[in-house]
């Protein structure tokens, strides 16, 4: 757990610096998820063929694609509510891409509290992993 804490505290923020403005396609998200999953496998000494969704669930950690999307939503949310008109206009111009991300996780509005957005994303991850049989509840 200490290794995971160090990776989450130091490596992830450094690797994702500026990710809020990245344009990523499906392959980019997949590559980033593979890197994140492989780090979980290395830390917990898992087989390379095993899914790490259950580890992520029990460690209360989202997949990398979720982390990036969450950071994007919260960044653009702050920009939409900024006092600076130029920044707000830029955020309004990106509203379509923000809405796409919101709809992906069934989040009704970008104006929700950050904690509610995070809660929606966590629920989406858990529901998806549970439906795919990657998480077994006792």
What are the φ/ψ torsions at residue 119 (nearest 5 degrees)?
-65, -45
Q: How many CB atoms lie within 10 A of CB 138?
A: 2
How far is residue 90's CA from residue 75's CA, in Å, rounded to a whole number? 12
CB 62 within 8 A of CB 122: yes
User: Residue-wise pLDDT tens for the chain (138 aa)?
Assistant: 899 999 999 999 999 999 998 999 999 999 999 999 999 999 998 888 888 988 999 999 999 999 999 999 999 999 999 999 999 999 999 889 999 999 999 999 999 999 999 999 999 999 988 777 666 553
CB 102 within 8 A of CB 68: no
Query: Rounded to two decimals, what is the model's pTM?
Result: 0.89
């Amino acid at each position: 757990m200490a290794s995971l804490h160090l990776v989450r505290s130091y490596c992830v923020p450094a690797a994702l610096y500026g990710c809020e403005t990245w344009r990523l396609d499906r392959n980019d998200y997949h590559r980033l998820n593979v890197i994140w999953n492989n780090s979980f496998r290395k830390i917990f000494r898992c087989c390379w063929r095993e899914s790490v969704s259950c580890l992520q669930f029990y460690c209360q950690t989202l997949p990398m694609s979720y982390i990036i999307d969450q950071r994007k939503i919260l960044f653009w949310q702050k920009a939409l509510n900024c006092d600076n008109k130029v920044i707000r206009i830029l955020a309004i111009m990106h509203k379509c891409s923000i809405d796409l991300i919101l709809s992906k996780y069934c989040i009704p509005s970008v104006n929700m509290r950050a904690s509610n957005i995070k809660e929606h994303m966590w629920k989406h991850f858990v529901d998806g992993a549970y439906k795919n049989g990657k998480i077994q509840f006792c």
